[in-house]
Amino acid sequence: MKTENSSNAGCLLRDNVEREGYAGALSTMTQEAEEMEGALLVRILDRDNLNRAYKRVKANKGAPGIDGRSIENTFVWQKEHGKEMVEQIREGNYKPGPIRRKEIPKPDGGVRKLGIPTVTDRIIQQTIARQG
């Protein structure tokens, strides 16, 4: 059933009533799915995997993100705060930092817009990508 939204006249919206066949379908995970998710998280947060991801990000020689922290400074930061970060990820409370925006000139005179995550976020992205 579709209704008209008074604030957006002419826009049709679905009623927000759950259909009987779908009620609760996404609200629970099976025990098997929870175990698979936990096993993947263990592999992602494995110390060796984190070290390999750090080395990969360092080899890419990327620019610092919006926090201004270089790869070398991130190494020091990780030594002090790495356990907290891993715990935040494990608990589902980790929030990636904002993206630094940069415009790169193109040979034809235009610009290419680039988004640069923080080094820490790039390391986390690498740990996940290596498990896919």
pLDDT (tens digit, 9 = 90+) per residue, 73-113?
999 998 899 899 999 998 889 999 999 999 999 999 999 99
**85 lies in some domain:** yes
Mean pLDDT value of segment 36-61: 89
E strand map for the chain:
2-4, 12-14, 100-105, 111-116
Instruction: Convert 50-67 to b/e letters by CB count within 10 Å (16 or more is b).
Output: beebbeebbeeeeeebeb
In a domain, 120, yes or no: yes
In a domain, 55, yes or no: yes
- Identify whether 21 is part of a domain: no
Does residue 38 form part of some domain?
yes
**Is 72 a domain residue?**
yes
C-alpha separations of 90 from 57, 85, 86, 87, 93 in Å: 22, 9, 6, 5, 8
In a domain, 80, yes or no: yes
- When the pLDDT of each residue in the chain is averaged and rounded to a whole number, the result is 81
Question: How many domains is the chain built from?
Answer: 1
What pLDDT, on the 0 to 100 scale, is given for residue 122? 96
**pLDDT value at residue 2:** 44
The CA-based angle 55-99-95, given to 5 degrees, is: 80
Q: Is residue 79 part of a domain?
A: yes
What is the residue range of 59's domain?
Answer: 31-129
Query: What is the predicted pLDDT for the residue at 29?
Result: 64
